[in-house]
Structure 1
Amino acid sequence: MNKTKTSIAALSLALTLALTACGNSADNAGTSNNTSNQGNQSNQSNQSNQSNQSNESNSSTDGSANKEDNTQPQTTKEMVDSVLAQIEQPRLIEMQNEQVTDAYHFDPALLDEFTIMMPMMNVKTNEIAVLKVKDASNVDAIKKGVEQRAADVQKQFESYLPDQYENAKNFKLIVKDSYVIFIISENADELEKAFEAFFTK
């Protein structure tokens, strides 16, 4: 009888120890899972923040690059169109390549590109030319051609329309880097400022 009681007591103690061990194992597993989940969430959060910071940095850099590009001269056609959109002028038409030599007294082959706008009607002297010279050594030759063009226009209107003659006498001749800009207009000062903005860095 005593042996039976002793056996039952030993079995009961063994069961108690086994249940306690299982409980502790479950608690440890739960704690381990929670720690792992928290670590994964933390890593995901850090990666997301780093990605956002990288995108913001790239956007900022791209924005700065675009701002810098906007200050650089564009094509001569884009420059003229932009300025004429800001400052109204009488109706102008574009001078064709074959007219340049006779009108400006130089070979257009000396130019990398050019845009010349002249009056549609021969009762106005307004004219705008943006000439990009291929070789800087030819800038003086282009300037002389432009000055001769101004003299020709003045002579044409000297005894024809006095107000347009005065307009032609007040022409602007501007040199910026490899660009030569010629302006005859009542708004010559405004046009000059608008063109100079393309060269401001």
Structure 2
Amino acid sequence: MRNIIKSFNTKSVITIFVCTITLVVLSGCSGKQETPSNPSALEIGEQIRHITNLEDMKEGDNKKLQKLYNINADEVESYVLYTAPTNIKADEIAVIKVKDMKNINNMKEKISNRIEKRSISFKDYLPEEYFLIEKHVLKTKDSYILLAISKDSDQIEKTFDKALK
């Protein structure tokens, strides 16, 4: 009788162990669909801060958002804005999360106007900075807008895209 109980306990333990391993493996392969992330512009800005040096740039506020792009802070859910410390540098990074999707194209157009003005003012004046403006990134994804005028525009764009997967 003892051998039967011993045998039963050993078999039970092995069975439980095998079932547990099977469940772990199957749950790891369940193919769950990831829900799209919905980060704030500040969270995306923090990720951008890790891949490019923003120490020399100035962080913009509501007044700067209005002055540069003619965008009212009430129209956006969140934003980050970094500008060059002087007017002889073209660097500018903005991530804007729009409150109402119907405004996104209008805001993108306002930012495009800013880029065009900057391009004209830098074209003959500072060719190196003009090059940065010419290779800028301006894109929208869902309710987000990205502007990157930087030597690291490609990396900033990749970080933006990754943050919104």
User: Which category describes the TM-score, using the shorter chain as reference length?
Assistant: 0.7 to 0.9
1:123 has 2:88 as partner: yes
Bigger radius of gyration among the two: 1
Partner of 2:163: 198
Q: Which residue of 2 aligns with 1:45?
A: 14
Matched residue SS, 1:182: strand
Higher relative contact order (Cα pairs below 8 Å, separated by 6+ residues): 2
> Which of 139, 147, 153 is residue 182 of structure 1 equivalent to?
147
Q: How does 1:92-171 map to 2 (within 5 A)?
A: 92-154=57-119, 156-157=121-122, 160-171=125-136
Q: Distance in 2 between matches of 1:166 and 1:45?
A: 67
Cα distance in structure 1, aligned partners of 2:78 and 2:16: 51
Could you tell me which of 40, 43, 46 is aligned with 1:81? 46
Shift of residue 111, structure 1, vs aligned partner = 1.3
Q: Which runs of 4+ in 1 moved over 6 A?
A: none
The total of aligned residue pairs comes to: 165
Amino acid at match of 1:142: M
Supply the distance in 1 between the matched residues of 2:3 and 2:124 (Cα, whole angstroms): 98
* Cα deviation, residue 43, structure 1: 1.9
Q: What secondary structure, in the 3-state scheme, does the structure 2 residue paired with 1:74 have?
A: coil
1:110-156 Cα deviation digits (max 9, x unpaired): 11211111112333110111111122111111112212222343455
Q: TM-score, normalised by structure 1?
A: 0.65
Name the CA shift for 1:90/1:186 in 2 (closer, same or farther; >3 Å): farther
Change (3 A) 1:120 1:44: same
Gaps of 5+ in 1: 1-31
Can you list the C-alpha shifts for 1:146-183, whole angstroms capped at 9, x where unaligned?
12222343455456534324433443211112111112
What is the alpha-carbon distance in structure 1 between the residues aligned to residue 55 and residue 115 of structure 2?
Answer: 18
1:172/1:197 CA distance change after superposition, 3 Å: same
Distance 2:53 2:117 in 1: 24
Aligned to 1:20: none
Distance 2:87 2:17 in 1: 67
Q: 1:58-86 CA distances to partner (integer Å, 9 max, x unpaired)?
A: 5x269x76x947x8463323323323433
Asked if the contact 1:90/1:119 (under 8 Å) is kept, the reply is no
Q: Percent identity?
A: 22
CA deviation profile, 1:81-103 (whole Å, cap 9, x unmatched): 32343345672222112321122
Q: Deviations over 1:4-32 (max 9, x none)?
A: xxxxxxxxxxxxxxxxxxxxxxxxxxxx2
- Checking the alignment, whether the CA contact within 8 Å between 2:58 and 2:82 is kept in structure 1 is yes
